[in-house]
Structure 1
Amino acid sequence: MKASLPVPVPFDEIFHGIDLSEEEKNLITEKIELISVDKDDILFKQGDIINHQYYVYDGCLRTYHIDENGKEHTLQFAIKHWWISDYIAYFGDNKAVLNTECIKKAQLFKISKENFEAIYKFSPKIEHLFRRKLEKALVRHEKRILANLTNTAKERYLAFLNKYPDIEKHIKNYHIASYLGITTESLSRVRKDIAKSH
């Protein structure tokens, strides 16, 4: 993981939906940092102190938990335009319970909790924007929990493909299986079933 060459902050991407003043843009530029993460790098791991959120400018990352038996449980893939962190630790002031690895070389905009708070204090409309983002994220999270409880493996896999188009070429089968909560063997059967139906 290393600092990257400066690029202009993509305000229209990160703060989509609001018009920013020059003062707001200048403050954001002061508070945000661009980093480059290589494939297989670990952005953070279980037990780390989490004080940052990351906006994916390009690339792909995976967030997962390792249980006491050593089994991996994938919670999220973060692709372009997504935010990623261990939000249990970030909002709860606890140590990380998740790991995040880079599975396709990425450039990330990194911002600390303190710097986010400074931006919110300066600009209530930015705080409002991110509150709305959190509300939508909570809805998506609860829909996924419900889908995992009620949908078949095939339905969950099709929803995964819809949510993450073109991601399969960058990730391993066991990553997908752990995200869906199934074995790699079950994933293979689901793919064969879909292929037959087409």
Structure 2
Amino acid sequence: MRSDNSKISVIFKDLKFSKKEIELIESVFHKATYKKGTVLLKAGDIVNNQYYIYDGCLRSYHIDTHGKEHTVQFGVNDWWISDYTAFFSSSKSIMNIEVLSDAILYRLSKKDKEYLYAQIPQIESFFRRKLERAFAAFQKRILSNLSQTATEQYMNFIQKYPNIERSVKNYHIASYLGITTESLSRIRKDLSSQ
């Protein structure tokens, strides 16, 4: 685990800040630790925060009207997670966020984020670039779901999340891929026999 003293340099890689800016950033990022199994956000909650994952593994998921879970995102070290639809539109959450392994997170409120934008313009550029990359990744994922076989999607998944299978259950991966756990087992068996 990394030292807490380096949190600003870990979160904002390649950015340089003055001592005053570092103090400002530290004043609005709030550290919290969560145990495996904690539900960080439930559908219907008001979403005022996004979270930087310093250590741990989380997932965001939606439960449809039939009670079926659809995993939208896994969050691992150095990723951000929230219900972004609700966060950006000031509406109630449609997602749930669950802690899959003990986690250290840094919480940033929408209000504090806007304040940082005004005080330290390079942070606004940093988050814009993050959003651009996230949007591109979600678009790739949609195209993958529409055009690739389940095996190809699984191969992409293990390339994107190489060590995640130690932290998540098979049904989490299956719900992320939009397949059954039986299909996932079949895919793994086929791949291991090649």
Answer yes or no: same fold by TM over 0.5.
Answer: yes
Structure 2: state its 5+ residue gaps: none
Task: Give the partner amino acid of 1:42.
Answer: V
Give the whole-Å Cα distance in 2 for the aligned partners of 1:8 and 1:86: 28
Would the aligned equivalents of 2:34 and 2:99 in 1 still touch at CA under 8 Å?
yes
| Of 162, 166, 172, the match for 2:159 | 162
Deviation at 1:95, TM superposition (A): 0.2
Q: Post-superposition shift, 1:22?
A: 1.0
Counterpart of 1:130 (choices 122, 127, 131) is: 127
Q: Aligned-pair distance for 1:9?
A: 5.4
For the pair 1:184 / 2:181, whether they are aligned, the reply is: yes
- One-letter amino acid of the counterpart of residue 127, structure 2: F
Q: Which residue of 1 is the match for residue 45 of structure 2?
A: 48
Q: State the Cα deviation string for residues 97-134 of structure 1 (Å, max 9, x = none).
A: 00000010000000100001111100111111111111
- Whether the aligned pair in 2 keeps the contact of 1:9 and 1:29 (CA below 8 Å) is no
How many angstroms apart in 2 are the aligned matches of 1:193 and 1:152?
Answer: 14
Label 1:9 to 1:50 Cα distance change in 2 as closer, same or farther (>3 A).
farther
Return 5+ residue gaps in structure 1 as ranges: 1-5
Q: Secondary structure at the match of 1:8?
A: helix
| SS of residue matched to 2:4 | coil
Per-residue CA deviation, residues 133-190 of structure 1 (Å, 9 max, x unaligned), is: 1111100110010011101111100111111111112111110000001011110110
- Asked if residue 58 in structure 1 is aligned to residue 55 in structure 2, the reply is yes
Q: Is the 8 A contact 1:33 1:110 kept in 2?
A: yes
Alpha-carbon offset, residue 7 of structure 1: 3.5
Residue identity opposite 1:101 in structure 2: E
Answer yes or no: is the 8 Å Cα contact 1:56–1:78 preserved in 2. yes
Which deviations, in whole Å up to 9, do the C-alpha atoms of 1:56-102 show, x marking residues without a partner? Answer: 00010011000111000000110000000000000011100000000
Q: Deviations over 1:18-70 (max 9, x none)?
A: 11111110101111100001000000100000000100000100110001110
Following TM superposition, by how much is the alpha carbon of 1:12 offset from its aligned partner in structure 2, in angstroms? 1.6
Could you tell me how far apart the structure 2 residues matched to 1:70 and 1:155 are? Answer: 27
Q: 2:31 & 2:106 partners in 1: Cα distance?
A: 4
User: Quick one: distance in 1 between partners of 2:77 and 2:93?
Assistant: 23
Paired residues of 1:43 and 1:101 also in contact (CA < 8 A): yes
- Would you say 1:70 and 2:67 are equivalent positions? yes
1:151 partnered with 2:148: yes
2:123 corresponds to 1:97: no
- Write the distance in 1 (CA, Å) between the matches of 2:120 and 2:132: 19
What is the CA RMSD across the aligned residues, in angstroms? 1.1
Amino acid at match of 2:130: K
Contact 2:100 2:168 in 1 (8 A): yes
Separation of aligned partners in 2, 1:133 and 1:62: 18
CA–CA separation in structure 1 for the residues paired with 2:4 and 2:164: 25
